[in-house]
Amino acid sequence: MWYRSRGVCFLIITLLSISLLTAGASGQQKRFSGVTLTVITQNPPYIAKAVQMFAPEWEKRTGGKINLVTAPFGELYSKLMSSFTLGTAAYDLSLFASAWMGDFAGNKYLLDLTDRIKADKDLKWEDILPTYQQTVTWGGRLYALPIDGDVHTVYYRRDALENPKYKAQFKAKYGYDLRPPQTWKEYRDIAEFFNGWDWVGDGKKHYGVLEAFKRGGQAFWFFMSHAAAYVSVPGQKGNMFFDPDTMKPQINNPGFVKALEDWVALVKFGPPGMINFDSGDVRSQFAAGTAALALDWGDTGIVGDTDPKSVVKGKIGTIVLPGSLEVYNYKTGKWTKLTKPNVAPYLAFGGWVCGVMATTKHPDAAYDFCRTIAEPKNSYIAVTTAETGLNPFRASHFADLSGWKKFGFVEPDLSSYLGAIKASLSHPNAQLDLKLPGQARYLDALETQLARAAAGEISPKAALDAAAAEWEKITNELGRDKMRRLYREWLGLPAK
């Protein structure tokens, strides 16, 4: 009978080994079993959709759980800051605006991800455009992963600007050829030309231009996109916000005043009520065929070509922001006349990023979820899916057109769209958005005065002088020397 008991023993050992091996294998797959990550970001669909898209796959792969908390965009910053300052450690990671990096990374509220990113070969860090690598860099260290690429471009209706009859009428009125605007002057003239009449032929009144003027509705970035060309001397740093030597605000210099005069004048070339438009209105109104021109992030192109209700699909051209035939040099205090437009694409907002809180108890899991959204395959899916609010930020996103076509884009809109974004991002005079502690305060102070100028309460010069005075107060409060050091660091200038 010995062989029978030996057989039983063999069977038991075999079964035990199989079960142990299986357990071991499942233990390896379920790397974060029992871990629940609380993620905070903007209300769905935009941005939060990326979390909703990839959470099930991540949960299945790692055994962890994702608890998504959302807030309206206007409250996201305050929710995060409240959590940081009160030390509640309420969240493990966040998808937030890179513009807040100065407050978050500057105050060490975020985990330094440099070593993890450098060790993560599958992330393909080098595929992320250098501009966006910069948006997550603070003091030479990496504090988040880019998940979105943001740059302002101009959209135009090809059926309007390429119409021979309108071309002839435009030339007769303005004395030069109608074409996609190369300068802000041409942009203004086109907006005026197409404003207030039925140039579509559908029996309705149509308008010239769509931009966001509402305070709290991203007006700051729209104005800055106009100003960039007037003040950005190629190769010179510190043109946009502060003098890097003194931290004196630049925003009321003659270049900015000229830009604000241009911008305020556009209010009358848009649909009624444009003064209360935010960027969401720009997108929906352009897709509804309201205007000939629009300035916005990549979303207007997406909504225009992929929304089933859009009436402009296949009629959209996209171009780099127009330039200016004169540029103001803050160092010399003089305007320089040019023969070719000075173009300065503005990386407004800088894109959404995914950062891990310094207080998280699960840094590995939190990083793993961030990289799940940022890695090449998933990020391509995200930027070519409706309502994620995410735009291309990797070189590979521009190379493969199949996903874009599946998304609903048609030619020639698609090539024009991707071409304009790519040209903006690789432009040598591209200007980064402000990234300093207190960015939200600077932004609100300027936006309040922009709204007053747009409403005609005060002149553009008075508005910008008031904003500059407020910026001076903020800088003094936050510490001028400290702010100068951080600003110079951000610009890549040596410490002074």
Supply the minimum distance, in Å, between the C-beta of residue 114 and another protein: 21
State which of residues 188, 214, 283, 397 lies at the interface with another protein (CB under 8 A): 214
Supply the minimum distance, in Å, between the C-beta of residue 89 and another protein: 12
Supply the minimum distance, in Å, between the C-beta of residue 271 and another protein: 6
Q: How far apart are CA 404 and CA 413, in angstroms?
A: 11
State which of residues 77, 241, 346, 352 lies at the interface with another protein (CB under 8 A): 77
Q: Is 283 a residue that touches another protein (CB under 8 A)?
A: no
Q: How far apart are CA 213 and CA 219, in angstroms?
A: 5
Interface region with another protein, contact rule CB under 8 A, candidates 4-12, 82-90, 116-124, 223-231: 82-90
Query: How many residues make contact with another protein (CB under 8 A)?
Result: 37
* Structure token pair of residue 75: 């409250």
How are beta strands 36-42 and 65-71 bridged, if at all? parallel
Interface region with another protein, contact rule CB under 8 A, candidates 185-193, 213-221, 380-388, 399-407: 213-221
With beta carbons less than 8 A apart as the criterion, state whether 193 and 208 touch: yes
Site string for another protein, 438-467 (x = CB under 8 A): --xx--xx--x--xxxxxxxx---------
Q: How far apart are CA 475 and CA 436, in angstroms?
A: 11
Q: Is the Cβ of residue 100 or residue 187 nearer to another protein in the bound state?
A: 100
Supply the minimum distance, in Å, between the C-beta of residue 425 and another protein: 29
Per-residue CA distances from 259 to 154, 265, 266, 479 (Å) = 16, 10, 11, 29
Q: Is 102 a residue that touches another protein (CB under 8 A)?
A: no
Q: Is 396 a residue that touches another protein (CB under 8 A)?
A: no
Q: How far apart are CA 313 and CA 410, in angstroms?
A: 8
With beta carbons less than 8 A apart as the criterion, state whether 465 and 268 touch: no
190-197 long-range contacts, CB within 8 A, separation 24+: 190/156, 190/161, 190/292, 190/293, 191/266, 191/269, 191/270, 191/292, 191/293, 192/269, 193/166, 193/169, 194/160, 194/166, 194/291, 194/292, 194/293, 195/268, 195/269, 195/270
Q: How far apart are CA 489 and CA 37, in angstroms?
A: 33
Q: Is 85 a residue that touches another protein (CB under 8 A)?
A: yes
Interface region with another protein, contact rule CB under 8 A, candidates 7-15, 246-254, 272-280, 377-385: 272-280
Supply the minimum distance, in Å, between the C-beta of residue 54 and another protein: 30
Residues that bind another protein (CB under 8 A): 74-75, 77-78, 81, 84-87, 103, 107-108, 214-217, 271-276, 437, 440-441, 444-445, 448, 451-458, 477
